[in-house]
Amino acid sequence: MRLIREGVAASPGIVIGQAHVLHWEVPRVPHASVAEPEIEREIERLHDAREWAKGRIRQIQEEAARRLGPVEAQIFEPQILMLDDTELVGGVETYIRENHLSAARAFEWRILELRSQWSHASHPMVMDRLNDLEDVEIRVLNWLLGLPDPDHTTAVDGDGIILVARDLTPSITVQLDRARILGIATDGGTRTSHWAILARSMGIPAVVRLGDLSDHVQSGDELILDGRIGRVVVEPAEEERRKYLEREARIQVWEKELAIFAHVEPVTLDGRRVSLRANIDLPAEAVPARDHGAQGIGLFRTEFLVVGRAAMPDEEEQYEAYRRVAEAFPDGAAYVRTFDVGGDKFPMFLHMPAEENPFLGWRAIRVCLDVPELFRTQLRALLRATAHGDVRIMLPLVNDVEEIERTRELVAQEEETLRRRGIPFNAGYKLGILIETPAAALDAAELARHADFFSIGTNDLVQYTLAVDRTNARLSKLYNPFHPSVVRLLHRISTVARSGGIEVSICGEMASNPLGTFLLLGLDITALSVGWPSIPETKKVIRSICIADAQRAAAQALTAATASDVIRCLEEGIGDAIDLSTYAER
Ligand code: PEP
Ligand code: MG
């Protein structure tokens, strides 16, 4: 049955292949009780199963470390810790002892209980934790029931496969054979699901949040999966198939053509130099970012160090990660964002409250200031990394001066700690903020007196200005970075930063949209940071336009009444300098 589904792009790339619907399920556990004399033996079986499962997860973790690196391998740590969790194990033992349940049945009950407790929180990161729990549950139950440990990779026949599943788990993903599995499409999941992070670092295109797609696809169906825009087409018509193949071919030509842009300066036709840096999620992306022509890292999201982790990351691990990024850019800056947890990203080691509105809740700088041991360790690691390059400290979701002042106090104390320990750092480091809320934009003049730089996070600024949840697919048409209110705020931030004598850059998605690039340059925001794969195409845009045209168009856009009017001004201003249709269909 022909079907088109829009989801969320989780890992880039376009592929055409045959569906394999992967049904991984928790095994059915028969009702069984144990007689009193067998209870101790049954508890022993539970512990044997746990030990065996831990061993198996460690093997998978080692394989992940070999294939992807030590940071990615950490993703399995929570699963190992779950198997030692007293809340889980103690509960299962009680069910065996007091209710005379078999170990399998007791384990199933306890997991059911934890799942219902955790789901009350209904945060996406809790969902990820549930996903980990399910991975663990399947492994333990299979062992207890004498079933083979599932190997999903051998269950998939043939080549050119697109996996379709309700959701995936990190352990299934890491075992996928990249040569045979072209892409992944899931009903659930998020861009920051552990398995999606792994898919990105394995280079497997993926689309998540596709509703009930797996109910409508049969193994063997032909699928087109577009991990750039987050679309899946099931059983495409011949015409559609042809269009996609042509599009894929055009993209390949386009990418080859773009490769040359990696090695040229980002300068406009009328000679305005632009700073073009990259956004990254993992330290391993710093070198590909540099190879794509980035002049530095404009946004290093550090949440990979905390999300899904069972324990706070230590100073040494963080220092190594920041240092690795700094060393990739001996001549460029690395803006490292302090932990932006909360919202849709939750570490397991923090007891995050269930909140009605997590994006308006305990998030980012608010969490860091409330959990000083977490923040101080990160600040120390960052300070140490300044000895290896131009590492800048960037605070997310700042709303007022006090948050900067309190952070500066903590940094000063940590500087003292390092001095006492004789550990080197560069005292001339810069500390700046992300402007992501209307409050920060409106108060920019005051904030500019306390921050060394501004970086505008348009992904959040748009969400908070328009009161449109950035993750709500139903509202995606309303989530418009060209809304006149956003344009006016951007103009205000840019003007204030210039008169305050501090750098203003931008690191939201808007910077990689060609019309967005044009507008931002026109608003005199000439330091951009984009996802590293977009560096060459953004350079191409920069090198195709004149700053004078951009300024004229931006001035007009500032008088526009609607988002469509803003877009019209920009399109007219760009004229035929850029073929926007090529961008629109990528
Ligand atoms: C932003 O909000 O624009 C931003 C860059 O941060 P994130 O997308 O990680 O919230
Ligand atoms: Mg943000």
Mean pLDDT confidence for 198-219: 89
Tokens of 196: 């999606």
Q: What is the pLDDT of residue 550?
A: 98
Question: Hey, which of 342-356, 422-436, 525-539 has the most confident mean pLDDT?
Answer: 422-436
Going by pLDDT thresholds of 50, 70 and 90, the confidence category of residue 490 is very high
**Residue 344 near ligand 1, beta carbon < 6 Å:** no
From 280, 459, 469, 486, the mutation candidate for ligand 1 (largest count of ligand atoms within 8 A of CB) is 459
Name the domain count of the chain. 4
Question: Are 395 and 340 in the same domain?
Answer: yes
Which DSSP string do the residues of 403-414 spell out, in sequence order?
A: HHHHHHHHHHHH
Structural tokens at position 297: 């890292």
Q: pLDDT band for position 465 (50/70/90)?
A: very high
How much is the pLDDT for 124? 47
Query: Does 156 score more than 80 pLDDT?
Result: no
Residue 288 lies in a domain: no
Last residue of a domain, one of 429, 445, 477: 429
Q: Which of 97, 127, 144 is the last residue of a domain?
A: 144
For residues 383-396, average pLDDT: 98
Residue 422 phi, psi (nearest 5):
75, 25
- Residue 530 CA, ligand 1 centroid: distance in Å: 11
What digits encode the pLDDT tens for the residues 539-573?
999 999 999 999 999 999 999 999 999 999 999 99
| Domain presence at residue 250 | no
* Ligand 1 contacts CB of residue 79 (under 6 A): no
- Statement to judge: residues 189 and 219 lie in one domain: yes
pTM: 0.76
pLDDT at residue 334 greater than cutoff 80: yes
Our answer on whether the CB atom of 281 is closer than 6 Å to any ligand 1 atom is no
Q: Is 194 a residue of the active site?
A: yes
Q: Whose CA is nearest to atom 9 of ligand 1?
A: 301
pLDDT cut 70: percent of the chain above it:
93
Q: Is the CB of 516 under 6 A from ligand 1?
A: no
Mean per-residue pLDDT for 250-267? 82
Angle (deg, nearest 10), helices 103-119 and 124-144: 180
In a domain, 421, yes or no: yes
Q: Are residues 394 and 439 in the same domain?
A: no
Q: 428 versus 202: which is more confidently predicted? A: 428
Across 157-171, 246-260, 418-432, the highest mean pLDDT is recorded for: 418-432
What local confidence, expressed as pLDDT, does residue 125 receive? 46
Residue 267 shares a structural domain with residue 364: no
Is 30 among the domain residues? no
If asked whether residues 192 and 260 sit together in one domain, one would say no
Query: Does residue 438 share a domain with residue 342?
Result: no
* pLDDT at 126 exceeding the cut of 60: no
- Ligand 1 close to Cβ of residue 459 (< 6 A): yes
Instruction: Report the separation in Å between the CA atom of 504 and the middle of ligand 2, taken as the mean of its atom positions.
Output: 16
**388 in the same domain as 455:** no
Among 188-192, 378-382, 494-498, the minimum mean pLDDT is found in 188-192
The CATH number of the domain where 68 resides is what? 1.10.274.10
Q: What is the pLDDT of residue 343?
A: 73
pLDDT digits (tens, 9 = 90+) for 71-121: 778 878 888 888 998 889 999 999 999 999 999 999 999 998 888 776 665
Residues 468 and 364 in one domain: no
Q: Give the mean pLDDT of 114-132.
A: 64
Nearest residue to 466 (alpha-carbon basis) of 476, 451, 454: 476
Does residue 297 lie in a domain region?
no
Both 314 and 410 in a single domain?
yes
578 shares a domain with 437 = yes
C-alpha of 28 from chain center: 34
Ligand 1 neighbour 436 (Cβ under 6 A): yes
pLDDT at 349 over 80: no
Among the bound ligands, name the one nearest to the CA of residue 302.
Answer: 1
Q: Is the domain of 131 the same as that of 179?
A: no
Mean pLDDT, the chain, integer: 89
In a domain, 92, yes or no: yes
Positive or negative: CA dihedral 273, 438, 436, 556: negative
272-303 pLDDT, tens digit each: 999 999 998 888 889 989 998 999 999 999 98
Amino acid identity of 465?
T
pLDDT at residue 150 is higher than 80: no
Q: Does some domain include residue 74?
A: yes
Q: Residue whose CA is closest, atom 6 of ligand 1? A: 457
Identify whether 248 is part of a domain. no
User: What domain range includes position 49?
Assistant: 36-144
Report the candidate in 213, 239, 262 with the shortest Cα–Cα distance to residue 19.
213
526-543: average pLDDT: 91
Q: Which of 152, 194, 292, 388 is catalytic?
A: 194
CATH number (domain holding residue 20) = 3.50.30.10
Residue 12: pLDDT band with limits 50, 70, 90: confident
Residue 261 CA to ligand 2 center (angstroms) comes to 28
Q: Quick one: pLDDT at residue 488?
A: 98
Residue 546 annotated among the catalytic residues of the structure: no
Residue 457's pLDDT is what?
A: 97
Short-list 365, 352, 351, CA closest to 402: 365
Q: Are 550 and 521 in contact (CB under 8 A)?
A: yes
Q: Which helix (H) or strand (E) holds 383?
A: helix 372-385
Among 100, 126, 144, identify where a domain stops: 144
- pLDDT tens digit string along 167-208? 888 778 888 888 899 999 999 887 767 788 788 878 899 999
Same domain for 41 and 59, yes or no, is: yes
Q: What CATH number has the domain bearing residue 402?
A: 3.20.20.60
